[in-house]
């Protein structure tokens, strides 16, 4: 399992910041938990969170881009599970490239909490459910908020 070397997930002081959370509806057991943990991370950090749900993972980037123009940080959440066709690779590459481009073009941090897993079990193990080894919704939100704070300091 990945995750070796990641920093401890602890809340940052982000009072006054806003974060948009965009989540796909596919694999609701996973994405609902990712959203709950992202909202918890925002709350623990004092940031105001707005949640927007989209049909699938491919719809995430366009909504993230719109929110990146109005929020201090944005978080993308979803679960893409490998199937029997190349579709998995197209979705993962498109979403990752799109989120990176949006973050750079809009100069707004985008936390990438889109899980790209070989199996549903792997996604569950990264979702922050009880017994999970990772908590990607929480971690992605903290990363986006921490980066927003850093950018604010650099711009001031």
Question: Please, what are the domains in the chain?
Answer: 18-155 (3.40.50.960)
Kindly state the average pLDDT of the residues 29-39. 97
Given a contact cutoff of 8 angstroms between Cβ atoms, the answer to whether 26 and 56 are in contact is: yes
Task: Determine whether the annotation assigns residue 57 to a binding site.
Answer: yes
Kindly state the average pLDDT of the residues 14-19. 96
Band (50; pLDDT cuts 50, 70, 90): very high
Question: What is the pLDDT, as a whole number, of residue 5?
Answer: 61
Element holding 145 (H helix, E strand) = helix 136-155
Residue 89 appears among annotated catalytic residues: no
Cα distance between residue 140 and residue 37, in whole Å: 10
Question: What is the pLDDT, as a whole number, of residue 148?
Answer: 98
Tokens in use for 146? 């921490």
Q: Is the pLDDT of residue 3 over 60?
A: no
The active-site residue out of 27, 87, 89, 133 is: 87
- Using alpha carbons, list the distances in angstroms from residue 78 to 124, 136, 156: 12, 10, 33
Q: Is the pLDDT of residue 1 over 50?
A: no
Which of the given ranges, 4-18, 65-79, 125-139, has the highest pLDDT on average? 65-79
Task: Determine whether the annotation assigns residue 96 to a binding site.
Answer: no
Question: What mean pLDDT value characterizes the chain?
Answer: 92
Tokens in use for 84? 């029997």
Task: Determine whether the annotation assigns residue 102 to a binding site.
Answer: no
Q: Is the pLDDT of residue 122 over 60?
A: yes
Question: What is the pLDDT, as a whole number, of residue 144?
Answer: 98
Band (4; pLDDT cuts 50, 70, 90): low
Task: Determine whether the annotation assigns residue 146 to a binding site.
Answer: no
Question: What is the pLDDT, as a whole number, of residue 2?
Answer: 54
């Amino acid at each position: 399992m990945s995750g070796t070397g990641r920093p401890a997930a602890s809340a940052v002081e982000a009072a006054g910041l806003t974060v948009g959370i965009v989540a796909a509806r596919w694999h609701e057991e996973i994405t609902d938990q990712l959203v709950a943990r992202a909202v918890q991370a925002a709350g623990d950090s004092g940031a105001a969170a707005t949640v927007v749900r989209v049909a699938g993972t491919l719809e995430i980037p366009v909504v993230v881009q719109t929110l990146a123009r109005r929020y201090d940080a944005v978080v993308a959440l979803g679960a893409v599970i490998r199937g029997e066709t190349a579709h998995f690779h197209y979705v993962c590459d498109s979403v990752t490239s799109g989120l990176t481009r949006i973050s750079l073009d809009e100069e707004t941090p985008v936390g990438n909490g889109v899980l790209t897993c070989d199996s549903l079990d792997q996604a569950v193990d990264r979702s922050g459910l009880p017994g999970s080894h990772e908590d990607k919704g929480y971690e992605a939100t903290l990363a986006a908020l921490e980066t927003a704070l850093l950018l604010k300091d650099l711009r001031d």
